[in-house]
Structure 1
Amino acid sequence: MPSLAAVSKIDFPYKVSQQTIKDFARDVFASSFPDIRRMLPVFDNTEICTRNLCKPLNYYMQTHSFEEQNREFIQLALEYSVKAIEMCISSADISGDEITDLICISTTGLATPSLDALIINKMRLDPHINRMSVFGLGCGGGTSGFAKACTLAKANPEAVVLLVAVELCSLTFLRHDFSKSNFIGSSLFADGVAACLLMGDRCEKGSDSRVRFMAAGSKLYYDSLDIMGWDFTDTGFKVLFSPGIPALIAGNVREDVSSFLAKQGLALSAIRNFIFHPGGKKVLGAYEEALAAGGDFLQTSRQVMKEYGNMSSCTVLYVLERFLHGYEKGYGLMMSMGPGFSSEMVLLEMN
């Protein structure tokens, strides 16, 4: 089975405290929300302490056109993707020339030629790399992308698959959008870039890996298309998400997880490492309520959210990176949920 050789992540130079962003939101939204003082505690209730941002905070006080924001996205996404890749291949002790496949995941900016093409050109990687650019999976993209990378590595035992997830959520902030969704989004979302290397069975560099891919599963819930996503407007990406997300998770996740594991001959009790995307405090609470796995089984997810915020697809890979510094031997379950509304799962063997 494919093995995980390395994971890297980016800590942006403009990490900001949640209290500072709360003060920023008060200044931005005060004129449009007469009850702003009643709404501001939402920042305190997220359990987020710091947020990973790709630009200094004063950048967001200014009005930017969609063209300007997207230009920033392309420039910064390329710059930090290259940094994450360089860290990842160094950690795996391989050269860029050995990469056979490249998958790029993002939902927060547009680029044509796509980001994978920009990366190959910038880094002078093998021009014959099999490449895939995936847009629109949102928070589910990290786990889904990981599954796709493992599928490629399973199909070709000699594959060296590079997965890159880039989400610059802050660059979608609409300065003059005074909707409640934009206000709530400003309390949660942050920026992240992560890279992973997956190796086929015949790759020597992956032969001593302690983390191996076992299976993947995906489910889309009918008639839930309006739960989460973007409304594409003249000014940019307008965030849409429903307060019903935690209830949807709580009502479905146990059955979804149990069914997925049963296909592998496992029960929920077999999982030792829960590598979950922390969509927010209420989302984590919904997972805990539904799965009741005992102890603080989402501690690592909660800690990543506390230190970085919700970085959409990248977040679960930040959680995975932290697990690699210490985990319990046994099975690991990666899980993310995102627009669709959908769930994505990956089963890992961690020895």
Structure 2
Amino acid sequence: MSVTPAPALPRITAVGTAVPPDSYTQAELLEAFRITDPRVRSVFLNGGIERRNLVLPPVGPDGAHRPETQGELLRKHLTNGLRTGAEAVRVCLRRAGVSLRDVRYLCCVSSTGFLTPGFSALLIKELGLDVDCSRLDVVGMGCNAGLNALNAAAGWASTHPGDLAVMVCIEACSAAYVFDGTMRTSVVNSLFGDGAAAVTLVAGGEPDGGEPDGSREPVGVRPGPRLLRFASHIIPDAVGAMRYDWDDDAGRFSFYLDPQVPYVVGANAEESIDRLLGAAGLRRSQVAHWIVHSGGRKVVDSVRVNLGLSRHDVRHTIGVLRDHGNLSSGSFLFSYERLLAEDTVVPGDYGVLMTMGPGSTIELALVRW
């Protein structure tokens, strides 16, 4: 009796990131928008963020940055997102040692604007990818969406051994700002930055057992972690704690973050992590690398305390928050890129990828090098 072999586990083979060219300190942003309210200034200057890459609004006749219409914000989302998304993909493919023609699946993630057609179709045209490239757009899921999309890309890769899948997070957060002087918008405006991040995935070639699996030679395989499993944990009671919805007063879409978000996420972190690791027969002490979403200083601290992690464990998360702010769905890939640059990973190491966002949701992935 023949036994159907289990699908090969996908491997992350490369990562690439991109940000807009202009970077601003928090103090420079306060000056640029002429913010004098001491409460708002305190939010900007005490959030663990030093600078962010942003595309600021045009300057009006009085020398101040003028409010943008919803149409202008959507055009910013398109132009800024397409530029940084294409750059992140090119960097990622170059590091993977593959070409644009090798891409067989493209998954695009964004939560900072709405486009039809979406970034997947636009990037296929912009980059000159093959017109028969499979594609998916993950829209509106928020900061956790990078792992939701990685799960989808990994599923495609596992059923197409040897073929190259690309997942790219494209967030033009400056296309989602409302400047009305309220504390609600000021918290958001102090936190998010613009950027894109991409990863390549390939399954097959040499499975975990080390024996040939019958698939064709995989494209551009590089040493990288295999994606062992994913897990989700939704908190229905906090469904409205993180929102991007229409603001009647401002006449545009606007972010909302409940002040209790850090504590809600932190309180649910332990259960979700233990479920992920327990299913693999692991303990937290066996995880060598923690890649946590740079959601904000309070969010990172709450997760760290509830999981018993050290500041060293989340050093890359803290560093990305400091240098770029919260990059929404792609934040964890900026941290993953820094981990690889550090060159401390050894074969056999386990890692956890963790993102948090609207729902309220915690998304997780377990990887092994």
TM-score computed with the length of structure 1 as normaliser: 0.92
Question: Cα distance, 1:259 vs. partner?
Answer: 1.1
Give distance in 1, aligned partners of 2:311 and 2:141: 30
Q: Which residue of 2 aligns with 1:213?
A: 227
Alpha carbons 1:3, 1:206 under 8 Å: kept: no
Q: Deviation per CA, 1:107-155, whole angstroms, max 9, x where unpaired?
A: 0011111110011112221111111001111110122222222122122
Q: Which residue of 2 aligns with 1:11?
A: 19
Question: Cα distance, 1:272 vs. partner?
Answer: 0.6
Alpha carbons 1:279, 1:310 under 8 Å: kept: yes
Q: Which residue of 2 aligns with 1:223?
A: 237
Give distance in 2, aligned partners of 1:158 and 1:103: 17
Alpha carbons 2:246, 2:252 under 8 Å: kept: yes
1:186 to 175, 185, 189: 189
**Judging changes above 3 Å, is the alpha-carbon distance between structure 1 residues 63 and 57 closer, same or farther for their aligned structure 2 residues?**
closer
Alpha carbons 1:105, 1:313 under 8 Å: kept: yes
Question: Unaligned regions of 5+ residues in structure 2, if any?
Answer: 1-8, 206-216
Aligned 1:53-132 pairs, distance under 5 A:
53-55=54-56, 58=59, 61-132=65-136
Question: Unaligned regions of 5+ residues in structure 1, if any?
Answer: 31-35
Root mean square deviation of aligned Cα: 1.8
Structure showing greater Rg:
2
Q: Which residue of 2 aligns with 1:245?
A: 261
Aligned 1:154-165 pairs, distance under 5 A:
154-165=158-169
Q: What secondary structure does 2:351 align onto?
A: strand
Q: In the alignment, does 2:1 pair up with 1:2?
A: no
Aligned residues: 342
**Judging changes above 3 Å, is the alpha-carbon distance between structure 1 residues 72 and 38 closer, same or farther for their aligned structure 2 residues?**
closer
**Judging changes above 3 Å, is the alpha-carbon distance between structure 1 residues 328 and 92 closer, same or farther for their aligned structure 2 residues?**
closer
Paired letter, 1:164: V
Alpha carbons 1:269, 1:293 under 8 Å: kept: no
Stretch deviating more after TM superposition (234-243 or 266-275): 234-243
Question: Cα distance, 1:208 vs. partner?
Answer: 4.0
Alpha carbons 1:225, 1:340 under 8 Å: kept: yes
Q: Which residue of 2 aligns with 1:298?
A: 314
Question: Cα distance, 1:200 vs. partner?
Answer: 1.5
TM-score computed with the length of structure 2 as normaliser: 0.88
Q: Which residue of 2 aligns with 1:343?
A: 362
Question: Cα distance, 1:296 vs. partner?
Answer: 2.1
Stretch deviating more after TM superposition (51-60 or 106-115): 51-60
Alpha carbons 2:57, 2:65 under 8 Å: kept: no
Question: Cα distance, 1:269 vs. partner?
Answer: 0.8
Give distance in 2, aligned partners of 1:208 and 1:125: 22
**Judging changes above 3 Å, is the alpha-carbon distance between structure 1 residues 208 and 107 closer, same or farther for their aligned structure 2 residues?**
closer
Paired letter, 1:75: T
Q: What secondary structure does 2:191 align onto?
A: coil
Report sequence identity in percent: 28
Paired letter, 2:345: E
Q: Which residue of 1 aligns with 2:42?
A: 41
